[in-house]
Amino acid sequence: MERKKVGATLAVLCVGILAFLSWNDPLPVQGQSRAPRRQAEKKSFSANEIDTQTSRVYIHVGATGFGHEHAVLGRVKSGEIRLGASEKAGRIVFDMAGFVSGTTEARRYIGLKGASSPSTARQVTANMLGNHVLNVRRFPTATFLIASALPLKEPSASGLPQYRLNGTFTLHGVTRSLKLTVEAKDKDGKVRLRGGFPVLQTNYGITPYSKAFGAVGVADRLTIYGEIDIARKARLTRKNSNRK
């Protein structure tokens, strides 16, 4: 009888040890990093950080003379936005060297019909990025430094919350004050901000492109639209794990 009791006690003890080890990750061997037993952890975006992979900028470029309207696709290089902040609310850094004209995505967003030929798109992009217009070699980025991002009482036309962003916009080496209203929408675990604002190229020291003594060219006034995705909060996500 005593042997049976001892054997049963050892069996229970072994089961308990195995259960404990299965719940806790083993300590790493010296010189090795900890490797979780389940799928590796994936770091999400930090709180208020802009998702540069999904955020987009679209620019509607008007025409003069016999010129044509253009749609430009741009991307965000880095930034963060703290919604509700009354000071130091963040910044958006635009990757000017990566702006491309004539994409189907941009034309659809702006509302231009038809498509640009590849050769036309390449030529317009080259003119836009060149020394006589944006001069991206000298000014590779533009920055919206946001002083405040306060909520508005009235919702947008689509019923979404709105925020007023106040700050300064630096383009082509020139800084001017900027105020715009954006609407906020929850999307895929982030907050998508949508808004737009007009600028005059000449206000930023840019001479609008033209040729044939001005018979063909682009308008001084541009309209910049943005869809900026920001993380709601910082967290570590762990997939395929049953831990609480």
CA dist 149 → 141, 190, 232 (Å): 22, 17, 15
Q: Domain total for the chain? A: 1
Q: Out of 17-21, 107-111, 127-131, 215-219, pick the least confident.
A: 17-21
Host domain of residue 93? 43-237
Query: What residues are paired with 103 via a beta bridge?
Result: none
In a domain, 3, yes or no: no
Establish if 11 belongs to a structural domain. Answer: no
In a domain, 150, yes or no: yes
User: How many whole angstroms separate alpha carbon 22 and alpha carbon 37?
Assistant: 9
Q: Is residue 212 part of a domain?
A: yes
Q: How far apart are CA 34 and CA 65, in angstroms?
A: 66
Q: Is residue 67 domain-resident?
A: yes
Residue 237 above 70 pLDDT? no
- What is the distance between the terminal CA atoms of the chain, rounded to a whole angstrom? 42
pLDDT at residue 182 tops 60? yes
Residues recorded for the chain: 244
Q: Which residues pair with 93 in a beta bridge?
A: 78, 143
Instruction: Determine, yes or no, domain membership for 84.
Output: yes
- Residue 3, pLDDT > 70, answer no
More confident call, 238 vs 73: 73
| Residue 111 DSSP one-character state | T
Both structure tokens of 241: 């794990």
In a domain, residue 70? The reply is yes
Q: What is the pTM of this model?
A: 0.74
